């Protein structure tokens, strides 16, 4: 399904596809990598806890 989606976006003239997944979701990251995706950015966050 991922490859079909990539092919369809290509047919539509889309030049770049970005995906988001949790850093702990290694299974999905491996799946996307096997479809040709690569890491491109790192998003960082902090939980702000009120006292």
Question: Domain-by-domain residue ranges, the chain?
Answer: 1-51
- Residue 39 pLDDT class (50, 70, 90 cuts): very high
With contact defined as beta carbons under 8 Å apart, do 17 and 6 qualify?
yes
- Give 12-36 as a DSSP string: TT---------TT-HHHHHHHHHTT
Residue 51 has pLDDT above 80, yes or no: no
Give me the mean pLDDT over the 12-24 stretch.
Answer: 94
Give the residue from 4, 34, 41 showing the smallest Cα distance to 19: 41
Quick check: pTM over 0.85? no
Report the C-alpha gap between 48 and 33 in whole angstroms: 32
Instruction: For residue 39, report the phi and psi dihedrals to the nearest 5 degrees.
Output: -65, 140
| Mean residue pLDDT across the chain | 94
């Amino acid at each position: 399904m991922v490859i079909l989606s990539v092919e369809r976006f290509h047919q539509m003239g889309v030049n770049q596809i970005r995906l988001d997944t949790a850093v702990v979701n290694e299974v999905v990251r491996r799946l996307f990598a096997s479809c040709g995706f690569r890491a491109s950015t790192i998003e960082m966050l902090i939980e702000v806890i009120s006292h």
